Every structure is written in structure tokens, then in C-alpha cells.
């Protein structure tokens, strides 16, 4: 039996006669609400959009028009279709014009593990909110790309309405404006185009490769054409990468009270001689942000009055950081002294370290991890940790630490580890902890002996087990996501699966066979498969594992002889055959935190580092003789690793803490096949 996440839930419903439970009746005084549906694959309706499937409207614009007619109503517009593209119309995209009655709001919600895309592919903004619109608009779990504003502003969204615009869990990519106005992706509260006021809220979103010819390559929120608008820009837990404009390569904002929190700015630019490759404007407070590699003719930050930084990293060499002094909120780290930071901050730091975007265990925007040796590590006293989580949602201070780190990424020490046996039994350490154990196959009465490994899933809130036949078991049973398919479910019969790995920012997984064949789930996803050995005409039967590149854009395969094969953006840093080292006992591979190196481990506990991997010792170096090591597991901060034996013995190196083992509990097994760190 495979795919327990979905199958067990269906089974329980069948056993106990449980169906969908509908709750009717609205409490007295509650706001009126409604759900409408859009489905450009199955929808046939042109108005109403009142049910899913055939009763759904075909286009987003039809759904929006139906929502506008429901005055005084909070409308959720369910946009169906994982990875489906909604082209709408080339010249106008979608126009949202909500009335101003109480309760008027529109929440456009994309569904599916891969968000649907709005891309009009034409000469207008993808979404326009005119000045006559007063209701609150939310756009969630969507990809908005390919918008091209040629006469107005805002390639993705042109918002001059008076209501609040909220975007969350969205991706804005390859939008542009070439009309001489503002906002490659979003232009908001702009009196030059008839806007008066309004707030813009951005959370858990990614802006990449958007271009503006004037202000704000990703977001512009300002007004030079009259009284300043009353609205503010609020950005949190979002990443801005490779956006470009002539002022404010990522963001231009001139409204007092604007904030940017827990966000990452990487390689945003302005042309030589212009200003603010990451940010240009006034009245904005930055807290717990990371700025790295933003480059322009003058500086990363062009800041007027009211621009402040606290608990942040500014590492934009060779560009200077600031055009003038900013208000120092304390505990910042900067690569030069141009921001004129105060005594609790570090200027001219040469030890910030390499900052590279990667998934870092998150299903949301990518982040730039710091190393424990970074000058940004532990610089913020606990009393000054005003934000309780980092961009990924991990706690501040990090688990195992007493002080906070500057920037959007917080170091965490793994607090435990889970071991898995070939029978699908799972052992959690430390014993008795409140979280970490999500179920096992013996606990479900399922008897197998072919489990080959496990990976964490759903942002470390569960795990997947894989069998040698490509069957996948998901825990906890019935979780809303985690199971994406299996080989038995596809009618594919194999017995050589050697490992699995989470992929595509934890929205899927790859299985690898001992011949180097790679199977990607969910099938048909746009990312995840980067090649295989059979596809290269390479014939082997000794592949023992697969590990993803931290940014999710590639993976490594490793053979029992220590041969390493790199696919996608994974960089090859060497192999044991390439070093003239002859072995036949390699059992595991693990990447370093930044993806610029990897470890191989042998069954005797010998550890072989490549690239920037640091050797924290090994069992042969400690004169410990074993032959049953099955896995190497790095700690969450990259400062150490555990070696795991088939008997459940655990050996800790570097900053890895020993917190228990099966022999220490007098539990006798010989079938442990792998382990993962637990974070909670």
C-alpha cells in the first residue's frame, strides 16, 4: 500500500461513513461572504461562476466581474489549475473595480501545488485597479508574469484605487513598464495617474527579473504629482532578485511609515550613474533584512529622511551601501562605512561571508543563509529581537542560540534527529520530545522490509518514506500536502530505488534508481527533473543516493565508489575516483549549507569533503572501527554532522549534539537506513 497521505484519509472516510460536512447558517451580524470559481480548463460558465468544474467561469475577468456585482460582500475567487496559465486579453489584462460599500473585498486565490499563472503576454498591465475602486483586493498564491505596461505603469499590477492591495505567496517575474512611468511589477498610490490614497501590503512573495524605466524595478509607491498619499508600503518575508530601474532597482517608496521586514534583496541594479540599486526613497524602516550583491553606479540605498536600518545586513560591494547617513536602529552589519552606523553595529566588515540564495528548508521565497562564523551571527541581543521569526518562519533567536542574527535568515541548531528502519519504523531523538514523530508503518499495521530512506516534508512538519519499488508513504497521514505520486501508482514496476530527495522547494520529490534513473513527482511539473544517467548514455548499477542542491535547481547522484554526477545548477567539485581513491563502500552524500560543496561518507565512517565542505573528523580518524554507517546528516547551521549506523548508533561531529541512540536505549536493530534532522 502506498501514498498513505491521501489513501488513508479516503479509507477512513469510507470505513466510518464520513462524507463532506457542510455547515450552513451565518451568525447574526456577520459580514456576507461568497466563493466564486474560475477554471479555464473545465469551466464553461460566462457569468455567475458559482460552482467549481463546469459551473466555473472560464476567465479571471469573468470571475472578477461577477464579484463586483456582489456589493457589500467579501468574495473569494477560487482560481483553479496547478501551473495553468490564464492569458486574459493582451491589451487590458484584468480590471478590478470594487464598490465602496461595507464588506466589499475580493480575494483572488490560486489553487494547486504549483500556483496558476496570469500572463497577458501583451502591451498592458496584467491587473489594473482604477481610481474608482475602493474595496480591498488580495491576490494570493499566484504567479504574475509577462505584463508590459507601455502607456501607464505597473507591468504586473497598476493600482491607483483607494482600497488596500495585499499580495501574498505570489511570484512576480519578467514584468516590465516602458511607458516612462513607474513600477516594473507593481505601481501603487500614484497621484500622477489619478490615485489618491491606499495601502500596499506584500508578504511571502518573490519578485524576480522585473524592469522599470523610471522608479521601482519591482515596486513603486510614491507620489510626485501633488499632496503625498496617505497610504504606506508594508513588505515582509519577501525576496527581490535581479530587478532593475533607473531609481530604486527593487523598491522606490516615499511614504512615511513604510516598513520592510524579514526580506532579502539580491543582485538588483540601476544603470551606471543612477541611484539606489536596492532601494530609493524616504520614510522607510528596514528591520531584519539582507541586502547583498545589489550594484549600481552609486549606492545600494539612496535614502532621504526617515530611512532607518535595524538588525540588517548590508553587503553590496563593490557598490557602496548608502548615499548618505541613515538612522541606525542598531545591530547592523555593513561592508563599508557609508551608512554612518552607530556603536552597536559593525562597519567595514570583511567577515559577513558568502551570501547565496537557496531554499534553505522553506517552501516560500528563497533566502541567503549565513554561516556560524559570519559577523552577522549573534550580533543582536535577545532584548533587541523585535521580530520573532525569520523570513522562513524559523524562530528568533534560533533553536539552540541565545542571541539573534542580523538579516532575514536566522541560524538554527538541529534539536534532534529521526531514524528510519527498512520496515518503516521511525525513532525520534531526543525521546519524549513533543514534536518530531509523525507516524510509522508498523504503527499502521503495514508490514514491509524495503524502505530505503526518508526526507522531511512540508517545512519539517512531517516526512516521506520511500520503498525500493518507488512506493511513497507520507506522514502525518492525511496531511494536506506531501504525497505527490509513486511508481506503483503509475503502474511502473521496479525494485532498484536507492533513495529519494525533496525537490522544487519541498513541493515534490525525486526518486533515484541504482542505475541513476530519476523519477520526478508530481509528474509533469515544470521543475525538478534535471537529467539522469541513462539519459546521458551512462550505464552503472551502483548509485546509492541523491541529494538536492540547496537552491532546488539541481541534484547530485553518488555511486558506491564515490563517483559524483551533477545535474542542473549543481556544481561538480570532485569525486573519489577523480582523486585516485579506490573504495566500494560509499553509503551517503550531503551538501553544504551554501551548496558549494558536499560530503561523502563510507560505511566505515570515513568522511570525504569536497568544495567548501569542512572536515569535522571521522570515525577512522578517531580510531573507531565500524562497518555499518548508513548516512551522514549535516546540522541545520552547517557547522557539523551526525553519522548514523544501521544499529541506530549515532556519532556527532562539529557542533552536532549527541542526544541519544538506539543502543543507548538497549534497542537492538540492524535495519536503520537513514536519518533526517528535526526542527520545531
| Residues above pLDDT 90, as percent of the chain | 62
Domain membership of residue 445 (yes or no) is no
pLDDT higher than threshold 50 for residue 559 = yes
Domain membership of residue 399 (yes or no) is yes
**Around 377, how many Cα atoms within 13 Å sit in the side-chain half-sphere?**
18
Residues 174, 101 within the same domain:
yes
Confidence of residue 304 (pLDDT cuts 50, 70, 90): confident
Pairing state between β 497-502 and 509-513? antiparallel
- DSSP labels, 68-111: HTSTTEEEEEEE--TT-EE---TTT-EE-----STT-EEEEEE-
**Looking at residues 150-175, what average pLDDT do you find?**
90
Domain membership of residue 440 (yes or no) is no
Residues 200, 263 within the same domain:
no
pLDDT of residue 123: 81
pLDDT of residue 362: 78
Calculate the average pLDDT of the chain.
Answer: 86
Confidence of residue 102 (pLDDT cuts 50, 70, 90): low
pLDDT in tens, 595-618: 889 999 999 999 999 999 999 999
CA–CA gap between residue 439 and residue 168 (Å, rounded): 32
pLDDT higher than threshold 70 for residue 410 = yes
Residues 211, 295 within the same domain:
no
Higher-scoring residue by pLDDT: 644, 152: 644
Under 8 Å between Cβ of 454 and 471: no
Using the 3D structure, point to which of 160, 189, 222 is the last residue of a domain: 222
Tell me the β-bridge partners of 473: 465
pLDDT in tens, 330-373: 999 999 999 999 999 999 999 999 999 988 877 789 999 998 88
Residues 158, 250 within the same domain:
no
Under 8 Å between Cβ of 347 and 337: yes
A 10 A CB-CB count for 273 gives 9
Under 8 Å between Cβ of 608 and 599: yes
Domain membership of residue 231 (yes or no) is no
Residues 169, 263 within the same domain:
no
Is residue 15 exposed (0-12), middle (13-18) or buried (19+ Cβ within 10 Å)?
Answer: exposed
Residues 202, 62 within the same domain:
yes
pLDDT of residue 107: 96
pLDDT of residue 230: 54
pLDDT higher than threshold 70 for residue 231 = no
Residues 506, 600 within the same domain:
yes
pLDDT in tens, 494-530: 999 999 987 755 568 899 999 999 999 988 766 678 9
pLDDT higher than threshold 60 for residue 651 = yes
pLDDT in tens, 57-95: 999 999 999 999 998 899 999 999 766 889 988 777 999
**Looking at residues 420-449, what average pLDDT do you find?**
90
Question: Which uninterrupted H or E stretch holds 13?
Answer: helix 4-16
pLDDT of residue 341: 96
CA–CA gap between residue 228 and residue 366 (Å, rounded): 34
Least confident range from 140-144, 422-426, 498-502, 665-669: namely 498-502
**Looking at residues 43-52, what average pLDDT do you find?**
92
Angle at the Cα of 484 from the Cα atoms of 479 and 490, rounded to 5 degrees: 135
**Looking at residues 105-116, what average pLDDT do you find?**
88
Residues 210, 272 within the same domain:
no
Under 8 Å between Cβ of 452 and 438: no
Domain membership of residue 612 (yes or no) is yes
Domain membership of residue 157 (yes or no) is yes
pLDDT of residue 670: 96
Pick the closest to residue 378 from 340, 339, 405, 416 (CA basis).
405
Residues 90, 200 within the same domain:
yes
Pairing state between β 219-221 and 186-188? parallel
Under 8 Å between Cβ of 521 and 483: no
CA–CA gap between residue 101 and residue 83 (Å, rounded): 34
pLDDT of residue 417: 87
pLDDT of residue 223: 56
CATH classification of the domain holding 580? 2.130.10.10
pLDDT in tens, 134-148: 889 999 999 999 999
Residues 337, 198 within the same domain:
no
Domain membership of residue 433 (yes or no) is no
| Residues above pLDDT 70, as percent of the chain | 88
pLDDT of residue 10: 27
Residues 634, 537 within the same domain:
yes
Per-residue HEC secondary structure of 107-173 comes to EEEECCCCCCEECCCCCCCCEEECCCCCCEEEEECCEEECCEECCCCCCCEEECCCCCEEEECCEEE
pLDDT higher than threshold 80 for residue 103 = no
Using the 3D structure, point to which of 412, 431, 447 is the last residue of a domain: 412
Residues 518, 579 within the same domain:
yes
**Looking at residues 288-295, what average pLDDT do you find?**
95
**Looking at residues 52-59, what average pLDDT do you find?**
93
pLDDT of residue 271: 84
Domain membership of residue 186 (yes or no) is yes
Residue 525 grid cell: 511539473
Query: Helix, strand, or coil here: 567?
Result: strand
Q: What Å distances lie between residue 211 and 204, 258, 666, CA to CA? A: 20, 22, 62
pTM for the whole structure: 0.73
Least confident range from 65-69, 413-417, 494-498, 536-540: namely 413-417
Domain count, the chain: 3
**Looking at residues 561-580, what average pLDDT do you find?**
96
Angle at the Cα of 256 from the Cα atoms of 253 and 261, rounded to 5 degrees: 65
pLDDT higher than threshold 50 for residue 27 = no
**Looking at residues 284-288, what average pLDDT do you find?**
96
**Looking at residues 461-487, what average pLDDT do you find?**
86
Q: Domain range for residue 95? A: 36-222
Amino acid at each position: 500500500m502506498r501514498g498513505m497521505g491521501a489513501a488513508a484519509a479516503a479509507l477512513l472516510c469510507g470505513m466510518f461513513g464520513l462524507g463532506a460536512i457542510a455547515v450552513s447558517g451565518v451568525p447574526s451580524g456577520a459580514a456576507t461572504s461568497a466563493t466564486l470559481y474560475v477554471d479555464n480548463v473545465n469551466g464553461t460558465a460566462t457569468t455567475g461562476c458559482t460552482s467549481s468544474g463546469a459551473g466555473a467561469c472560464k476567465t479571471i475577468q469573468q470571475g472578477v466581474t461577477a464579484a463586483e456585482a456582489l456589493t457589500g460582500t467579501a468574495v473569494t475567487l477560487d482560481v483553479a489549475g496547478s501551473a495553468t496559465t490564464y492569458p486574459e486579453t493582451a491589451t487590458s489584462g484584468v480590471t478590478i473595480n470594487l464598490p465602496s460599500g461595507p464588506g466589499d473585498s475580493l480575494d483572488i486565490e490560486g489553487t494547486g501545488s504549483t500556483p496558476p499563472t496570469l500572463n497577458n503576454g501583451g502591451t498592458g498591465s496584467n491587473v489594473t485597479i482604477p481610481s474608482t475602486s475602493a474595496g480591498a483586493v488580495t491576490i494570493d498564491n499566484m504567479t504574475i508574469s509577462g505584463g508590459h505596461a507601455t502607456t501607464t505603469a505597473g507591468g504586473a499590477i497598476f493600482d491607483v484605487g483607494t482600497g488596500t492591495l495585499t499580495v501574498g505567496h505570489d511570484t512576480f517575474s519578467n514584468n516590465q513598464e516602458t511607458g516612462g512611468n513607474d513600477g516594473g511589477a507593481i505601481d501603487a498610490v500614484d497621484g500622477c495617474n489619478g490615485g489618491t490614497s491606499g495601502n500596499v501590503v506584500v508578504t511571502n512573495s518573490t519578485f524576480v527579473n522585473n524592469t522599470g524605466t523610471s522608479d521601482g524595478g519591482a515596486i513603486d509607491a510614491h507620489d510626485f504629482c501633488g499632496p503625498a498619499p496617505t497610504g504606506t508600503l508594508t513588505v515582509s518575508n519577501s525576496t527581490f532578485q535581479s530587478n532593475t530601474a533607473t531609481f530604486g532597482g527593487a523598491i522606490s517608496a516615499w511614504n512615511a511609515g513604510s516598513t520592510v521586514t524579514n526580506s532579502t534583496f539580491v543582485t538588483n541594479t540601476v544603470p551606471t550613474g543612477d541611484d539606489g540599486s536596492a532601494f530609493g526613497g524616504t520614510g522607510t524602516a528596514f528591520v531584519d533584512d539582507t541586502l547583498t550583491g545589489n550594484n549600481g553606479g552609486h549606492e545600494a540605498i539612496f535614502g532621504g529622511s526617515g530611512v532607518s536600518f535595524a538588525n540588517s545586513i548590508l553587503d553590496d560591494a563593490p557598490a557602496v551601501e548608502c548615499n548618505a547617513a541613515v538612522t541606525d536602529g542598531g545591530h547592523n552589519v555593513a561592508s563599508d562605512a557609508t551608512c554612518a552606523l552607530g556603536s552597536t553595529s559593525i562597519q567595514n566588515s570583511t567577515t559577513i561571508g558568502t551570501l547565496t540564495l537557496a531554499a534553505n528548508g522553506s517552501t516560500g521565497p528563497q533566502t541567503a543563509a549565513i554561516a556560524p562564523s559570519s559577523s552577522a551571527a549573534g550580533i543582536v541581543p535577545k532584548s533587541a529581537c523585535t521580530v520573532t521569526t525569520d523570513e522562513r518562519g524559523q524562530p528568533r533567536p534560533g533553536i539552540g542560540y541565545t542571541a539573534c542574527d542580523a538579516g532575514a535568515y536566522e541560524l538554527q541548531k538541529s534539536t534532534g534527529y529521526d531514524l528510519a528502519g527498512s520496515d518503516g519504523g521511525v525513532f525520534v531523538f531526543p525521546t519524549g520530545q513533543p514534536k518530531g514523530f509523525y507516524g510509522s508503518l508498523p504503527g499502521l499495521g503495514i508490514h514491509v522490509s524495503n524502505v530505503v530512506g526518508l526526507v522531511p516534508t512540508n517545512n519539517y512538519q512531517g516526512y516521506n518514506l520511500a520503498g525500493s519499488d518507488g512506493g511513497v508513504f507520507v506522514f502525518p497521514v492525511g496531511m494536506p500536502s506531501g504525497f505527490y505520486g509513486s511508481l506503483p501508482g503509475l503502474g511502473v514496476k521496479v525494485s532498484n530505488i536507492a533513495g529519494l530527495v525533496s525537490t522544487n522547494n519541498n513541493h515534490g520529490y525525486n526518486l533515484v534508481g541504482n542505475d541513476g534513473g530519476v523519477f520526478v513527482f508530481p509528474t509533469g511539473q515544470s521543475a525538478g527533473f534535471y537529467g539522469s544517467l541513462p539519459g546521458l548514455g551512462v550505464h552503472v548499477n551502483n548509485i546509492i543516493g541523491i541529494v538536492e542542491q540547496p537552491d532546488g535547481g539541481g541534484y547530485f547522484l553518488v555511486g558506491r565508489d564515490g563517483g559524483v554526477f551533477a545535474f542542473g545548477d549543481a556544481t561538480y567539485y570532485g569525486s573519489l575516483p577523480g582523486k585516485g581513491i579506490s573504495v566500494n563502500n560509499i553509503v551517503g552524500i550531503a551538501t553544504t549549507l551554501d551548496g558549494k560543496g558536499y560530503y561523502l561518507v563510507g560505511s566505515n565512517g570515513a568522511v570525504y569533503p569536497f568544495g567548501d565542505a569542512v572536515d569535522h573528523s571521522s570515525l577512522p580518524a578517531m580510531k573507531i572501527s565500524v562497518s555499518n554507517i548508513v548516512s551522514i546528516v549535516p546540522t541545520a547551521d552547517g557547522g557539523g554532522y551526525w553519522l548514523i549506523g544501521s544499529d541506530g548508533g549515532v556519532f556527532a561531529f562539529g557542533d552536532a549534539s549527541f542526544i541519544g541512540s538506539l543502543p543507548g536505549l538497549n534497542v537492538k536493530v540492524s535495519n536503520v537506513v537513514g536519518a533526517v534532522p528535526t526542527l520545531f
